């Protein structure tokens, strides 16, 4: 229930409302006006000292109500109905917040720090004596007499003689702290100007801090005021809204449930300034639009949904004469009833309209086409949906509306069908299948005939190849027999010039088997050969593709010297790559021995002839 005053007598920008009795409360407006609210009407109290400056805060202390203004502190006595100026030291200062301890000490938050007043003594707590920040915005004295100070740079509290930084203690982001409230079981909450609401357990420092923000359903992260209510509830006020925060579990555990009071729920609020509880346990909300009373059961939070309907269905961004073209129309909304469209009529536009008089500017829409979209579109304020180039099929267009982005109306539906073109009908697909089957059958027949012919050619080639292989095998057997039985050494090297075979003739000639010579000297021909010019001989052989003959002295395994005459023959593939290298060594030691003897005889004869010639020459002389 909203209560508004006659603007000519009392401002509706209510700063705070303080209950005085079962039926009356003390009300202060932002411009400094004061009134007594009797439950229905605001009765202004005339200031008997001077016009009040703009008010910022107020607190009740016994029969006195202290009012913080832009020009110090003023008190109002509810018994004598009189005003008085207090604490001259605070004149010309903006009093942002007032707190009182159980011992009667008052704390005043100002831009110069916190003023502490006890009876007539006033002292200043500032950066000069330990306070980290002078620009204080809220002070709060909890049930344990701990003083909490909210500043533009975070939250501080006094522990004995020390001023501690609460943000650093619990590792919270630094930001302006705007308001406090304490529950009856040792928990307190504080509101911030950037990070929403924090709830802290004074009795259990190990319990986690609960932070509730806009992402959790809060209307705004910039909090002006907060208030604990019974039944595990917390109220938070901000610009254009206030919220009721409830928890499923005890001690503010579980997922928070946030109930918003703003334009989306029928509350036109410019700013929420303060909460209080009257003697009937009703919530009194001071706003810039008057005083709002919410009963103990919270019936005033009922949410209203906008009225929604689809206004038109267009084809290709143009209106379509549905009735003229033979479609039946719905008598209530004028739309065609389950229309069936041909495949060319596949560009549809849907327009829709929602009505919500409280906040028409907040209306949001979300839509989908069942059969195309998997999920609802993002909320938008546009009241038209475009669906071009739709395929054939059965579709249902659905649209819903909301004013807060969370609570949505029941979707409004429009069913329609788009026929397939003739080339995409069942008969067309059957023809396609039969045609493809015929083509496949024809291709299979051609393929079978081709495979049969290839098979015959392959069999013929296999037969010819078999004959060639048999002939080759016979020749290889002969060559193998020759290689085994010949006294000559036969060595075969692979394409990398590594030894892969040697016959018994090589073992007889050198005294080594293939394995022994490889283990001793290595597999490469350069390592096995005893000829010092083997590199030149090998290079010439491979370059000219011709056999090369050379002689070498081979050292037998037992130490004797064996003269060999070697024939090196390369074997190349069709693509001119080396396949094998064959070296045949013949023992020419006996021939070499005879050549040495013959050479010796010739030298003796030559010497004898020279001697005879010399003697004859001497006799003649």
Radius of gyration over alpha carbons of the chain, in Å? 55
The pLDDT, as a whole number, for residue 299 is: 45
Q: Is the distance from CB of 351 to CB of 317 less than 8 angstroms?
A: no
Distance CA 499, CA 493 (A): 4
Q: How far is CA 250 from CA 143, 185, 258, in A?
A: 21, 11, 16
Tokens (6 digits) for 92: 């010309």
Phi-psi region of 81 (alpha: psi -120 to 50; beta: other; left: phi over 0): left
Distance CA 181, CA 136 (A): 17
The DSSP code for 443 is: H
Distance CA 7, CA 424 (A): 73
CA 617 to chain centre: 119
The three-state secondary structure class of 252 is helix
Q: How far is CA 257 from CA 159, 185, 199, 262, 411, in A?
A: 34, 21, 15, 16, 24
The pLDDT, as a whole number, for residue 52 is: 59
- Regions of the chain short of the pLDDT cut 70: 1-10, 22, 48-53, 205, 231-232, 250-252, 296-304, 472-473, 475-485, 621
User: Of 51, 55, 9, nearest to 286 (Cα)?
Assistant: 55
* pTM to 2 decimal places: 0.56
Q: Using one digit for the tens of pLDDT, what is the confidence trace for 424-455? A: 888 989 999 999 999 999 999 999 999 999 98
Distance CA 276, CA 414 (A): 49
The pLDDT, as a whole number, for residue 300 is: 45
Q: How many CB atoms lie within 10 A of CB 195?
A: 20
CA 508 to chain centre: 79
Q: How many CA atoms lie within 13 A of 250 on its CB side?
A: 1
Tokens (6 digits) for 57: 């805060």
* Residue owning tokens 């009373």: 293
Distance CA 283, CA 302 (A): 16
The pLDDT, as a whole number, for residue 260 is: 87
* Residue owning tokens 């292989």: 469
The pLDDT, as a whole number, for residue 312 is: 95
The pLDDT, as a whole number, for residue 8 is: 53
Q: Is the distance from CB of 14 to CB of 273 less than 8 angstroms?
A: yes
Q: Using one digit for the tens of pLDDT, what is the confidence trace for 94-124? A: 999 999 998 889 999 999 999 999 988 999 9
The pLDDT, as a whole number, for residue 301 is: 46
The pLDDT, as a whole number, for residue 387 is: 96
């Amino acid at each position: 229930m909203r209560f508004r005053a006659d603007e000519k007598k009392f401002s509706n920008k209510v700063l705070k409302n303080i209950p005085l009795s079962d039926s009356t409360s003390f009300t202060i407006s932002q411009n400094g006006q004061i009134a007594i609210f009797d439950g229905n009407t605001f009765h202004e109290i005339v200031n008997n000292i001077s016009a009040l400056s703009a008010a910022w805060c107020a607190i009740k202390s016994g029969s006195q109500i202290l009012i913080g203004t832009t020009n110090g502190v003023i008190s109002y006595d509810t018994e004598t109905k009189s005003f008085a100026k207090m604490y001259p030291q605070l004149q010309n200062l903006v009093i942002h917040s007032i707190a009182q301890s159980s011992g009667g000490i008052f704390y005043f938050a100002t831009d110069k720090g916190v003023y502490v007043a006890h009876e007539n003594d006033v002292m200043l707590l500032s950066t000069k004596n330990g306070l980290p920040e002078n620009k204080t915005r809220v002070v709060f004295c909890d049930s344990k007499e701990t003083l909490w100070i909210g500043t533009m740079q975070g939250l501080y509290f006094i522990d004995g003689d020390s001023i501690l930084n609460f943000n650093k203690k619990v590792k919270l982001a630094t930001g302006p702290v705007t308001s406090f409230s304490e529950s009856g079981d040792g928990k307190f909450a504080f509101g911030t100007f950037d990070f929403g609401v924090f709830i802290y357990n004074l009795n259990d420092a190990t319990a986690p801090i609960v932070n509730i923000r806009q992402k959790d359903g809060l209307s705004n992260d910039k909090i002006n005021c907060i208030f604990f209510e019974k039944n595990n509830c917390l109220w938070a006020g901000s610009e254009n809204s206030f919220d009721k925060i409830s928890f499923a579990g005890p001690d503010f555990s579980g997922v928070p449930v946030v109930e918003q009071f703003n334009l989306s729920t029928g509350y036109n609020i410019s700013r929420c300034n303060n909460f209080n509880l009257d003697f009937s346990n009703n919530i009194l909300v001071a706003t810039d639009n008057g005083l709002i009373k919410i009963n103990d059961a919270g019936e005033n939070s009922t949410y209203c949904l906008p009225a929604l309907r689809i206004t038109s269905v267009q084809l290709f961004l143009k209106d379509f004469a549905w009735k003229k073209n033979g479609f039946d129309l719905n008598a209530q909304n004028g739309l065609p009833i389950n229309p069936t469209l041909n495949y060319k009529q596949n560009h549809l536009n849907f327009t829709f309209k929602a009505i919500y008089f409280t906040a028409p500017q907040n209306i949001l829409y979300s839509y989908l086409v069942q059969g195309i979209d998997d999920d609802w579109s993002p909320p938008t304020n546009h009241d038209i949906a475009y669906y071009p180039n739709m395929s054939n099929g059965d579709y249902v267009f659905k649209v819903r509306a909301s004013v807060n982005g969370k609570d949505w109306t029941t979707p409004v539906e429009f069913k329609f069908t788009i026929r397939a073109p003739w080339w995409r009908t069942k008969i067309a697909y059957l023809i396609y299948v039969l045609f493809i089957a015929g083509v496949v059958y024809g291709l299979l027949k051609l393929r079978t005939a081709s495979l049969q012919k290839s098979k015959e050619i392959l069999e013929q080639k296999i037969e010819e190849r078999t004959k060639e292989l048999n002939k080759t095998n016979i020749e290889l057997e002969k060559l193998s027999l020759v290689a085994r039985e010949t006294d000559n050494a036969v060595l075969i090297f692979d394409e990398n010039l590594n030894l892969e075979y040697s016959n018994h003739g090589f073992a007889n000639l050198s005294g080594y088997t293939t394995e022994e010579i490889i283990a001793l000297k290595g597999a490469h021909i350069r390592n096995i050969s005893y000829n010092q010019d083997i590199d030149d001989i090998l290079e010439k052989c491979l370059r000219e593709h011709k056999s090369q003959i050379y002689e070498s002295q081979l050292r037998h395994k037992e130490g004797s010297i064996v003269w060999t005459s070697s024939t090196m023959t390369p074997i190349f593939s069709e693509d001119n790559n080396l396949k094998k290298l064959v070296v045949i060594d013949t023992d020419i030691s006996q021939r070499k021995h005879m050549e040495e003897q013959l050479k010796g005889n010739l030298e003796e004869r030559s010497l004898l002839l020279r001697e005879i010639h010399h003697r004859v020459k001497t006799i003649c002389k």
